[in-house]
Structure 1
Amino acid sequence: MKWRSVKIASLVISIVFLLFGCSSGESAGSSNNNGDQVELTFMYWGSNMEKQAIQKMIDSFNKSHPDIKVVGQHVAGDYNTKVNTLMASNELPDVAYLGTSLAKKWAQEGKIMDLTDYQDQYPALKERVAQSYLYYEPGKNVGNTTASEIEMMFYNKSLFEEAGVEVPPSKAEDAWTWDELIKTAQKLTKDSKGRTADESDFNPKEIMQYGISIPSTFNGWLPMVLSNGGDIINEEGTELTLNTPEAKEVFQNIHDLIYKYHIAPTPVQMENMPATSVSLQTKKVAMAIDGQWALLDIAGSGVDFGVAVLPKFDELKTIFLSGASVIFSSTEHPEEALEFYMYHNDPEQVDLFETGLWMPIQEEYYTDEAKIKEWTDNPAHPEEYRDAAINYLLDYAVQAPEIDIINWDQINTELEQGLDQYWTDAKSLDDVLAELEESVSPLLEGRYPSE
């Protein structure tokens, strides 16, 4: 009898608490009228290492925000196909990575939240690196790139010591000229008998170590074209401007690195070579032009490496490029999505800045000495990093075409297919550029606003 009485009393107490909870409105730890925890989905790409870091960030967010539960969705395959399929089926995540060109296109179609109106609510949205803003209409942006990234140069220090030549400069004012790059790369290119490319008996058919590797995509040639006073399109975005003396000089000079001086691998050889980190570690190349994100793997490879600014023609330049982070307009929880959006690439919450994959978009991490040390005072960031990356980004980085040029994805497909015929020595530069004018011109629709 006593046990039955206890059970009845417990049941009564439970009912009382339940009724009290229902009558008091929103329960503790909840942010909606149903008293339920809000659930958000966050879709992203990246390597296994990035996946682990992102999941760690998600777990931390969920722990510090008990009224919100974020579920991560890592996509290892074709990300664009996945997100387009979800768009077609109206099953989009709340927050996601997205290519910057697609992000702006969908913003114009109203599929992505405009964050301009939230800048007073989140002042930090107004305190970010200028190049990171994704404006799709004058005065309207969908937020920022996920991180800051630039094209720069990496090198194997031990190979420079062996060759007895000076390492590439990290300071902008000391940037190599193109001729200085050639002369140094010649001394660092070796055949199977150890002869260098500046020796008369050098055998270009038996190269064991290249002096320099450069991507054949726009990441490799565009910084040089900009440095030489050229560009992909005119200021209005209505005309292709690669068939100009400024751009043609750069294309010819890069081509000469491969076929005249034999100090850089061909595109086919590049495809068969390992990643930059392994190529530097195994001495396949002495210097490599790559995105800043390569720092993560290079630092983890154990190679004694350094970082430097790119060579220049006239004025030193690099490009600022990164994927976007966006909130889809279809989210049912915009306020909670914004809370996570502000959190997901905060250097205080994600160790991908310290490990070298990302550079911050928050201005304070470039101006506040203590903040700078938080993400750079570690083995992944060599001593010269501040000059070769931070100062380089702030003073010389121009938004990449994927951020700047309307319809870039289609334009880039044409450019890559056309220029590949030149990089592989299948067609002359004049023929390739003439064909590109015909195929690219109908795709030109201007530039996006910069503010």
Structure 2
Amino acid sequence: MKIKYLKIVGLILTVMVLLIACSSHSSGKENGDNKSVELTFMYWGSNDEKQAVQQMLDSFNKSHPDIKVVGQHVTGDYNTKINTLMASNELPDVAYLSASLARKWAKEGKVMDLTEYETAYPELASRVPQSYLYYEPGKHIGNTTAAEIIMMFYNKALFEEAAVELPPSEAEKGWTWDEFVEVAKKLTKDSNGKSPDQPGFNPKNIVQYGVSIPTNFNGWLPIVQSNGGDLTNEDGTELTLNTPEAKEALEKIHDLIYKHHVAPTPVQMENMPATSVSLQTKKVAMAIDGQWALLDIAASGIDLGTAVLPYFKEPTTIFLAGASVIFSSTEYPEEALEFYLYHNDPEQVDLFEKGLWMPIQEEYYTDEEKIASWTDNDVHPEDYKEAAIDYLVNHSVSAPEHTIVNWDEVNTALEQALDQYWTNAKSLDEVLSEAEAAVNPVLDGKFPTE
């Protein structure tokens, strides 16, 4: 009888232990502790971005007492850090990631497929089309963290001094390339105040350039595409910069530096301050840069204007941004998704109002009240809506980092070749021949766009 009693008691205790364990595992919460589900969020960015992200984390944790998210801000080589964590199986739950690496890891099953959550979370299906990161047809891992485009910034005071009409903010009224060059000449000055179109101009002693333009793909690709050219063929297996359309655009950008003397050389660019300081100190009158530069430019206090890029045949800019992903290794996918949807909500993060980011939610481009919520402030100039919002919606093309498989390897090989052209060390034909030999072997197609 005693043995039977002990067996019954033992069975009851075992069941109780199992029930408690199952309850704890299924909810991820401990009795009396509403913050037992802990997530880690790894991200990059400046101190301003770090402060804004931390405010967002504090707000999320306060409004979600059952979830605690701990931020991990990385200031060094982010890719090296995340690859090290991948190798040691110590990945965060949610993180920033380059768009190229995000899709690579998605195909390997290391990043969560969010397509299946669209029914339960409708907000996943109402975002800017270019922001989706598809890794297989019909399957995506979510979106870019924000939206960004390449555009033009300018110092209005320098235009007034030169008595030159301000750049167009509407794409349909954008400057032709020749119009752009003529304006850039008028805004370029040597130490004696002479412009390139005036006798006695000294190209070796320029104190103010008409424009600065990056010599990486951010600067030249939208110009190439505006002329009907492109980086690769349609299936992403062959470099196509050797076409007449692409070559013409590349040559015209090269002429800005070495023929017209209205833009600094790559070496000079390296020694110049950031765009915000260059515009503020009148080292340049116009600057082609990413929309994200608005954060620092607005803080410089100049009378700022924004404009669309000059073009050849069709107004064109590129859409580009880093990704935010949920790793498949997370123990709490639904809680991670809840945070994922929160972390770049314009109502929760002030980086949209401050000028670093543009939203990925479609309503912030179509609803006038929503548009005003992030642009009606001292940071965004009056012409910003046309120069950035309308430009993104109607004239942006996804950047190659969002479309080209193996983009990191492709870009490294491409830049090594093209740098010789931008530094005037080799002719364009020589450089493109070398680029084809280096790039074509690593081109491996394109990712789907839907």
Class of the TM-score when normalised by the shorter of the 2 chains:
over 0.9
Distance 1:270 1:357 in 2: 22
TM-score, normalised via structure 1 length? 0.93
Question: Contact 2:29–2:66 at 8 Å: present in 1 too?
Answer: no
* 2:213 equivalent in structure 1: 214
* 2:377 equivalent in structure 1: 378
Distance 1:274 1:385 in 2: 24
| Per-residue deviation, 1:33 | 5.5
Question: Which SS does the other structure have where 1:204 is aligned?
Answer: coil
Distance 2:27 2:281 in 1: 54
Aligned residue type for 2:207: M
Distance 2:151 2:206 in 1: 25
| Per-residue deviation, 1:196 | 1.3
1:32 aligns with 2:28: yes
Distance 2:435 2:71 in 1: 41
Query: What whole-Å deviation, never above 9, does each CA across 1:129-172 have from its counterpart, x for those lacking one?
Result: 00000001000000000000000000000000000001110011
Question: Contact 1:31–1:67 at 8 Å: present in 2 too?
Answer: no
* 1:8 equivalent in structure 2: none
* 2:303 equivalent in structure 1: 304
Query: What whole-Å deviation, never above 9, does each CA across 1:397-434 have from its counterpart, x for those lacking one?
Result: 00000001111100000111100000000011000000
Aligned residue type for 1:39: E
Distance 1:94 1:127 in 2: 24
Distance 1:407 1:25 in 2: 43
* 1:166 equivalent in structure 2: 165
Question: For 1:39-438, what aligned pairs fall within 5 Å after superposition?
Answer: 39-438=38-437
Query: What whole-Å deviation, never above 9, does each CA across 1:369-403 have from its counterpart, x for those lacking one?
Result: 11000000001111110000000000000000000
Distance 1:306 1:33 in 2: 52
Distance 1:408 1:273 in 2: 28
Question: Which SS does the other structure have where 1:316 is aligned?
Answer: coil
TM-score, normalised via structure 2 length? 0.94
Question: Which SS does the other structure have where 2:241 is aligned?
Answer: coil
| Per-residue deviation, 1:268 | 0.3
* 1:6 equivalent in structure 2: none
Question: Which SS does the other structure have where 2:204 is aligned?
Answer: helix
Question: Which SS does the other structure have where 1:106 is aligned?
Answer: helix
Question: Contact 1:25–1:33 at 8 Å: present in 2 too?
Answer: no
Aligned residue type for 1:214: I
Question: Which SS does the other structure have where 1:417 is aligned?
Answer: helix
Aligned-residue RMSD, C-alpha: 1.5
1:445 aligns with 2:444: yes
Question: Which SS does the other structure have where 2:411 is aligned?
Answer: helix
| Per-residue deviation, 1:32 | 2.2
Distance 2:436 2:382 in 1: 44
Unaligned runs of 5+ in 2: 1-15
Distance 2:232 2:20 in 1: 63
Question: Which SS does the other structure have where 1:205 is aligned?
Answer: coil
Number of residues of Structure 1 aligned to a counterpart in Structure 2: 429
Question: Contact 1:149–1:321 at 8 Å: present in 2 too?
Answer: yes
Question: Which SS does the other structure have where 1:421 is aligned?
Answer: helix
Question: Contact 1:188–1:209 at 8 Å: present in 2 too?
Answer: yes
Question: Contact 1:148–1:320 at 8 Å: present in 2 too?
Answer: yes
Question: Which SS does the other structure have where 1:215 is aligned?
Answer: coil
Query: What whole-Å deviation, never above 9, does each CA across 1:260-283 have from its counterpart, x for those lacking one?
Result: 000000000000100000000000
Aligned residue type for 1:195: K
| Per-residue deviation, 1:237 | 1.1
Q: 1:23 to 1:116 in 2, by over 3 A?
A: closer
Question: Contact 2:308–2:387 at 8 Å: present in 1 too?
Answer: yes
Distance 1:332 1:142 in 2: 17
| Per-residue deviation, 1:197 | 1.6
Question: Which SS does the other structure have where 1:70 is aligned?
Answer: strand
| Per-residue deviation, 1:239 | 1.1
Distance 1:438 1:417 in 2: 12
Question: Which SS does the other structure have where 1:288 is aligned?
Answer: strand
Aligned residue type for 2:431: V
Distance 2:199 2:23 in 1: 82
Unaligned runs of 5+ in 1: 1-18
Question: Contact 2:29–2:37 at 8 Å: present in 1 too?
Answer: no
| Per-residue deviation, 1:26 | 6.0
* 2:5 equivalent in structure 1: none
Distance 1:198 1:280 in 2: 22
Query: What whole-Å deviation, never above 9, does each CA across 1:282-305 have from its counterpart, x for those lacking one?
Result: 000000000000000000011111
Question: Which SS does the other structure have where 2:312 is aligned?
Answer: coil
| Per-residue deviation, 1:23 | 7.6
Distance 1:24 1:253 in 2: 69
Question: Contact 1:115–1:142 at 8 Å: present in 2 too?
Answer: yes
Question: Which SS does the other structure have where 2:179 is aligned?
Answer: helix
Distance 2:165 2:20 in 1: 76
Distance 2:142 2:135 in 1: 10
